[in-house]
Amino acid sequence: MNRTTPLLRQISAASRTLARNQTSLQQVRCAHAISNPTLANIEKRWEAMPPQEQADLWMALRDRMKVNWNELTVQEKKAAYYIAFGAHGPRAQAPPGENTKVFIYTMIGVAVAGGIFFGTRSFARGTPHTMTKEWQEATNEYFRENNIENITGVSSEGYVGVGQVQSKPAPKE
C-alpha cells in the first residue's frame, strides 16, 4: 500500500505539470503578432473579405488581445478597433441618394393611399338622414319623453348640454 501512494503522487504531479505546460503552449501559440500585410488597409478590405476569412481574422485578433495589450502592435490595435466599432455592417454609412429614395417612395405611398381614399369617397353615398340637426333634436325629445339617460343625459335634472345635436341644420330645398 505504501508503494502505490508515491506512484499515484508522481502520476498526479506529472499530469498537473503537463496541464500547466499545455496552457503555456496555448498562450505561446497565440502570442505571436499578426502580420502587417494581413492587417494593412483592413478598413477598405473588410467588407469584401469572405465571411470565413473575416471570422478567422477576428478570432486571431481576439486570441491576440488575451495577452497584455502593451504587446499588441499599433496595426493590431487599429484593426481590432475597426472590426469591433468600425463603419461596416449596421454602422455603415447609407449609400448616396438613400434619403432621396426614401422620401420619394414615401410620397408615392402617400399619394396612392390618398388616391384610394378619395376614390372610395367618390363612390360613397351622401350623409345619412339621421345626421341632420332636426333629426338629432327629435332624438333629444324622444330621450326626454322616455326618460332615457336620466342620470347624466338629456333627461337628467338641470341638464344644460346640447344632447345628441352635433350637425348643422339640413339644407332647405
Do residues 44 and 18 share a domain? no
Q: Are 80 and 65 in contact (CB under 8 A)?
A: yes
The answer to whether residue 162 is domain-embedded is no
Residue 170: inside a domain, yes or no? Answer: no
Which pLDDT belongs to residue 83? Answer: 87
Check whether residue 4 and residue 48 sit in a common domain. no
pLDDT in tens, the chain (173 residues): 455 566 666 667 666 666 665 544 444 444 577 777 878 888 888 888 899 998 999 898 898 888 888 888 888 888 988 888 888 888 888 889 999 999 999 999 999 999 999 999 999 988 888 889 999 999 999 999 999 988 888 889 989 888 889 888 777 76
pLDDT of residue 167: 84
Can you give the pLDDT at residue 24? Answer: 46
Residue 152 lies in a domain: no
Task: Find out whether 56 and 75 touch, Cβ atoms under 8 Å.
Answer: no
Domain boundary among 87, 109, 130: 87
How many folded domains does the chain comprise? Answer: 3
Residue 10 and residue 26 in one domain = yes
- Indicate if 82 and 38 belong to the same structural domain: yes
Residues 22 and 55 sit within 8 Å (Cβ to Cβ): no
Residue 42 and residue 77 share a domain: yes
pLDDT for res 26: 46
Answer yes or no: do 46 and 12 share one domain. no
Domain that holds residue 127: 99-145
Instruction: Tell me if 113 sits within 8 A of 140, measured CB to CB.
Output: no
What is the pLDDT at residue 100? 96
